Copies of this chain bind each other. A is one copy, B any other.
Amino acid sequence: MANHKTTSGAVAAAPELLIRIDRAAAPGLRAQVERELREAIRTGRLPAGAELPSTRALASDLGISRGIVVEAFEQLLAEGYLSARRGSGTMVAPGRIAADRGKEAVPKSAAEPARTSVRYDFRPSVPDTSTFPRRAWHKSLRRVLATAPPAALDYPDPRGTRALREALSSYLNRVRGTAAVPERMVMCNGFTQGFRLVCSVLKQRGARAVATEDPSHEEQRAAIRAAGLRVVAVPVDDKGVVVERLERTAASAILVTPAHQFPTGAVLAPQRRAALLAWATRRQGFVIEDDYDAEYRYDRDPIGSLQGVAPERVVYIGSASKTLAPALRLGWLVAPVELLKDLARIKEMEDRGSPGIEQLAFADFLECGELDRHLRRMRRIYRRRRDLLAKALRTHLPRHRVFGIAAGLNLMLELPAGADEEVIAAAAAAHSVHVGGVQRYCVRPNTSPALILGYGMLRESAIAEGIRRLAAVLDSR
């Protein structure tokens, strides 16, 4: 009974089990062990099918003789609480239905939300997770686990492991034109934590208001408010954010998506880039650069980061969510020197640093050129999807203008003036097409109606049919 065979055939360790006995108490030890086990099975602490430790291990744990445990097991086997199979140890009898103390108390509202499946999913901001380079990522993880020193498993440097900050700063300088060095970097859990850290530091330094582009993600405005700051919404036109409108506000920082504005797809025009940095210098403020899907461009020249031009006035935020997978939760900041210490201190206070093994794996992955390789592949895939989408739109919706098509993982489809995005989205959903409007990203409702069409996770075969269905919905209105 010492070796428990698991279903996978491997020899499992004897499982642990919490049992309380009182050597001085009235009922004998055997009765106590029986009672504790019975109680654990009745309350669901030991569910049906759960393996029990071997009698030898349990006796050793409790500091009692093995015979007592053997007798207790035999009694419970006889009572039907336990069942035994040759070669697979003792387990809680599979038929038993236990009263689960905790589960019953959990109301429906707190239970798992249902995920509906959609056949033509045009949601933006979601990359294709089916193409994740699992083999290469596994190789990097394996190499790290085989070679990293024990210290790499201790509490990580709250700013991120040195090896990753080195590899990543080289990568960003090469591919995104940043002026990054390891000392300027702070690793964080995706864009979300990074932006929140920046807001907290700005608030502590006396900032009152942070601007965002209008339209942009509502979650970002919520993060600004949660830091105790006021949100200022600055309009976006086809040249990106309107900097002269920013200049009239009280904001001392602004979050922008210069490479590919979300959701309009506009590229920040050269004059606007210069005006934005001039504003930050004059104001002694900060531009927070969300380098959102900048790695995906198709038929336009690459656009370097703002950070590379003004490293002391720009906080650069990047993540692997769009380039690799959101589940990695790998994000990073490249920060001006005057914010570095505070950012590192807040990151340490928040969670004592991001997971260490994955950081080292990402460093290895970058150094082997695997991200370059993956991005080349994905750019081909996404470009093909974009081409098919553009073609389908020309075929089925030829009178609708399309914006932001040169880069990114989404585009914007103009709707006729007065069109109701919500009604259209609901009608599309009834035909298994998941699509959303631009208004949900707007603070001021003065943007003309449009749909945001993401093609990150759309199968090629689904694109034309999805647009045909969408066109039928639009034509019927």
A residues at B contact (CB < 8 Å): 4, 6, 8, 10, 12-22, 40, 43-47, 50-51, 57, 61-63, 100-103, 105-107, 109-112, 126, 128-130, 132, 134, 137-138, 141-142, 145-146, 150-156, 162, 169-170, 173-177, 179-181, 183-184, 188-190, 192-193, 196, 219, 222-223, 226, 299, 301-304, 308, 311-312, 321, 325-330, 337, 340-341, 349-358, 368-370, 372-376
Contacts and interface: CB of A to CB of B under 8 A. Distances in A.
Contact of A13 (B17, B45, B62, B372): B372
Contacts of A356: 325, 327-329
B129 A134 contact: no
Which of A51, A62, A326 counts the most chain B CB atoms within 10 A?
A326
Given A129-B151, A170-B50, A109 B341 contact: yes
Nearest to A109: B341
B311 A357 contact: no
B153 A325 contact: yes
Which of A21, A105, A196 counts the most chain B CB atoms within 10 A?
A105
Contacts of A311: 101-102, 105
Which of A43, A111, A154, A162 counts the most chain B CB atoms within 10 A?
A154
Given A183-B110, A190-B352, A351-B192, A155 B18 contact: no
22 contacts: A6-B368, A15-B372, A16-B175, A17-B175, A19-B302, A101-B311, A102-B184, A105-B312, A109-B341, A110-B337, A126-B154, A129-B150, A134-B146, A138-B142, A142-B142, A155-B326, A188-B351, A190-B351, A190-B352, A222-B349, A329-B354, A350-B350
A192 to B, nearest CB: 5
A315 B454 CA distance: 41
A103 B181 contact: yes
A105 B337 contact: yes
B190 A302 contact: no
Contacts of A62: 301
Contacts of A57: 376
B177 A351 contact: no
B154 A145 contact: no
Contacts of A47: 170
Q: Which 7 A-B pairs have the closest CB atoms?
A: A13-B373, A327-B356, A12-B369, A129-B153, A189-B351, A102-B181, A153-B325
Given A134-B146, A170-B47, A304 B20 contact: yes
A183 B111 contact: yes
Contact of A134 (B10, B145, B188): B145
